[in-house]
Amino acid sequence: MKIVRHTAPDMRQALRAIREQLGEDAVILSSRRGAKGVEVTAAVDFDAARLDSTAKPAELRVAPETAFAPAPPPAAAATDASAEAMGNELKTLRRMLETQLAQLAWNERTRRHPVHVELLRELSEIGVAQDLADHLVGQLPPGVDLAQGRRFTVAGLSQYLQVTGDRWLDSGGCVAFIGATGVGKTTMLAKLAVRWILRHGPKDLALVASDTVRIGAQDQMHALGQLLGVPVHVPERFEALPQLLAGLNRQRLVLIDTPGASVRDAQFDARLAVLGACAPRLEPALVLAASTQAGALEETIARCAVVKPASCLLTKMDEAASLGGALSALIHARLPVSYVSDGQRVPEDLRPARALELVTQAVRLAKTSGAAADEDLLRRRFGKLAHANT
């Protein structure tokens, strides 16, 4: 491929000069008006042109006795390869051009709105998703300084993050804890059961052990029931859960332990269908480990959306290196948080979720971990967005 740039007083003259130099196959890549007239950048693929003109008819013929589907003739294959190479080069050029435009847009944004740019950097360091960060900064009233901007974005994030309050421990419910393996479902159930007993006594509580998959899961639930003095109910099969729950109408709080599985596992979908059949009595609650990567959290949330979880519980807050990604995923999904857990101790490490507290914790975590946004990444992300919006 050959690329040339021509400057001429007007477009007609520039195009003529390009045609004379590169021929009729020239492709215009860009044009812009400058002080000296019009600058046009064009390219032509010489290899393709040469191949076309030198291809001999004999090379393109297929022997008539060939019984099976013939392979593409060599000249045609070469032309294909050449066209593909040209396509790739054009893609590379386009990417380079986009990067440059993003850089220009970012520089312009830095010059005109230094506070916005600083806030975007800080939100990225917290782990807040790019579109959400851009949206928050876009909502700022004109003329705010950095300290005011910080308060606005923290307040904005905590307004978007929904929480349920201490609902189950106050008034009870029928809750099934669902989620991936090892995220802390059973531990969370145990913490809530103990807290309930401390507040209301054991009378109105029932535990359901429907995890028949993990070795020892049933024993664990029976041991918990014995310790707390509450009955533990075991369905014959997971599919028998709706009948079992129908018999537990009198209890004010029913906590159901379910087996963990990869959310891509077909078994997981089948169990969700059973839980869906228990609606509206049963409330599926999604247990998410805050230490999980935001993309994986988003996938789990999307897969579990079929049972319309009314809330989620965030566990392993103490293990998370960053919280902004998890909070962004919850905000995107409009999924309220009910309780959070930041340790293994039963029942100490459990608290009802409070939005401002969670956002402040995310900010603090970014500060203590010394998270530093990659300048190049910022420029590409937000510059591209700014350029796309112009």
Ligand X SMILES: Nc1nc2c(ncn2[C@@H]2O[C@H](COP(=O)(O)OP(=O)(O)OP(=O)(O)O)[C@@H](O)[C@H]2O)c(=O)[nH]1
315 binds ligand X per the rule CB under 6 A = yes
Q: Closest approach of Cβ 317 to ligand X, in Å?
A: 6
Which of residues 251 and 341 has its CB atom nearest to ligand X in the complex?
Answer: 341
Q: Which is nearest to 163 in space by CA: 289, 337, 357?
A: 337
Only one of the segments 6-14, 28-36, 65-73, 316-324 lies at the binding site for ligand X (rule: CB under 6 A); that segment is 316-324
Max Cα distance, the chain (Å): 93
352 binds ligand X per the rule CB under 6 A = no
What residues contact residue 331 under an 8 Å CB cut-off, 6+ apart? 132, 157, 160, 161
Strand ranges for the chain from DSSP E: 2-8, 27-34, 37-44, 173-178, 205-209, 232-233, 253-257, 283-289, 311-315, 337-340, 351-352
Q: Which two tokens stand for residue 90?
A: 């054009």
- Per-residue binding string, ligand X, 196-235, x by CB under 6 A, is ---------------x--x--x------------------
Q: Which is nearest to 150 in space by CA: 118, 109, 112?
A: 118
Q: 163: helix, coil or strand? A: strand
Q: Closest approach of Cβ 290 to ligand X, in Å?
A: 8
Q: Say if CB 115 and CB 153 are below 8 A apart.
A: no
73 binds ligand X per the rule CB under 6 A = no
Which of residues 315 and 361 has its CB atom nearest to ligand X in the complex?
Answer: 315
Q: Closest approach of Cβ 217 to Mg ion, in Å?
A: 6
343 binds ligand X per the rule CB under 6 A = yes
183 binds ligand X per the rule CB under 6 A = yes
Which of residues 184 and 309 has its CB atom nearest to ligand X in the complex?
Answer: 184
Phi-psi category of 236—alpha, beta or left, where left has phi over 0 and alpha has psi -120 to 50?
A: alpha
186 binds Mg ion per the rule CB under 5 A = yes
59 binds ligand X per the rule CB under 6 A = no
Q: Say if CB 49 and CB 78 are below 8 A apart.
A: no
Q: Closest approach of Cβ 300 to ligand X, in Å?
A: 12
Q: Closest approach of Cβ 183 to Mg ion, in Å?
A: 9
311 binds, among Mg ion, ligand X, none (CB under 5 to 8 A by kind): none
9-20 as b/e: b if 16+ CB within 10 A: eeeeebbebbee
Residues that bind Mg ion (CB under 5 A): 185-186
Residues binding ligand X (CB under 6 A):
181-187, 211, 214, 217, 260, 315-316, 318-319, 341-344, 349
